[in-house]
Amino acid sequence: MNREATMNELNPALERMIPFLRLADQARRRVQYPAVGIAGLFALWWWGGWLIANNEDTMAFASFAPGPTLTAFWDLVSSGNVWKPIESSLYRVGWGLFYAIAIGVPLGVMIGYFLTLKQITHVPFQFLRMISPLAWMPIAVLAFATWDGAIIFLIAIAAIWPITYATAHGVQRIDPMWLKVGSNLGANPIHTLRYIVMPAIAQDVFAGIRLAVGVAWIVLVPAEYLGVTSGLGYAINDARDTLEYDKLAAFVLVIGIIGYMLDAICVRLIKRSSYHAES
């Protein structure tokens, strides 16, 4: 009787623990594979640092190893010296992406909706798309009065193409029946764009923005080698000139962390804009 009474008392407690155990198991599954990947990357980084430190020709660059880099990273964060470069770079990337979205989304909608426009613009747009954004540097310097303006232009011209073509692809995938139903219900072009087209292509637009963020973040660093005296690219260039390789590697680490966070935000937006339930 005592054993049965004890089991009866434990059962409700176990039932209450089941949801927490499930959450713990889900958390473990989400963390274990990224943890393995990070550990593998760190081991590769440590091995590379060990090879550099033990080679007479490269031992001067031993500060690229994890130990010195993480120490410099902590010094940058604790002293606050990392925030100003981040602020400057995010300002330029933000404005560059703003212009790319403001131009690319409407342009993509028109290309996707009007077949004639798509055929007219295909060759010139593909030609322009294949030109490296950094090749526009001399023109950007001549065309804009400030260095910030030139860098924002380079970022915008790099980011506009993924957004434009992702948007156009989304428009082309819209079920024609949706447009027909909207027309039958008396929707004018503005209503059709707002209530049918934009919700239908939201996931494609955010996917294009995700690609654009990656391109813009890559272009940012060499673009900031121009005449600016702020930003992450400038900080890397300055650390190279002063032979502070641990600081250089720390700023590279900062760029990777921020880039990952921006990409995670885009992934979240893509999931939220999906019509399908996420598992």
* Lowest-confidence region among 16-30, 73-87, 102-116, 135-149: 16-30
CATH class (in words) of the domain with range 73-272: mainly alpha
pLDDT of residue 4: 53
The average pLDDT across 41-68 equals: 82
pTM (2 decimals)?
Answer: 0.80
Q: With CA atoms as reference, report the closest residue to 223 among 126, 131, 157.
A: 157
Give 238-258 pLDDT, tens digit per residue. Answer: 888 888 888 898 999 999 999
* Lowest-confidence region among 47-51, 150-154, 160-164, 253-257: 47-51
Q: Where are the domains of the chain?
A: 2-54, 73-272
Q: Which three-class secondary structure string do you get for the chain?
A: CHHHHHHHHHHHHHHHHHHHHHHHHHHHHHHHHHHHHHHHHHHHHHHHHHHHHCCCCCHHHHHHCHHHHHHHHHHHHHHCCCHHHHHHHHHHHHHHHHHHHHHHHHHHHHHHHCHHHHHHHHHHHHHHHCCCHHHHHHHHHHHCCCHHHHHHHHHHHHHHHHHHHHHHHHHHCCCHHHHHHHHHCCCCHHHHHHHHHHHHHHHHHHHHHHHHHHHHHHHHHHHCCCCCCCCHHHHHHHHHHCCCHHHHHHHHHHHHHHHHHHHHHHHHHHHHCCCCCCC
The average pLDDT across 113-117 equals: 87
Q: Say which residue, 181 or 1, is predicted with more confidence.
A: 181
- Entry field: residues in the chain: 279
pLDDT of residue 275: 59
Q: With CA atoms as reference, report the closest residue to 160 among 85, 108, 100.
A: 100
Tokens found for residue 95: 């404005």
Give the pLDDT band (50/70/90) at residue 15. low
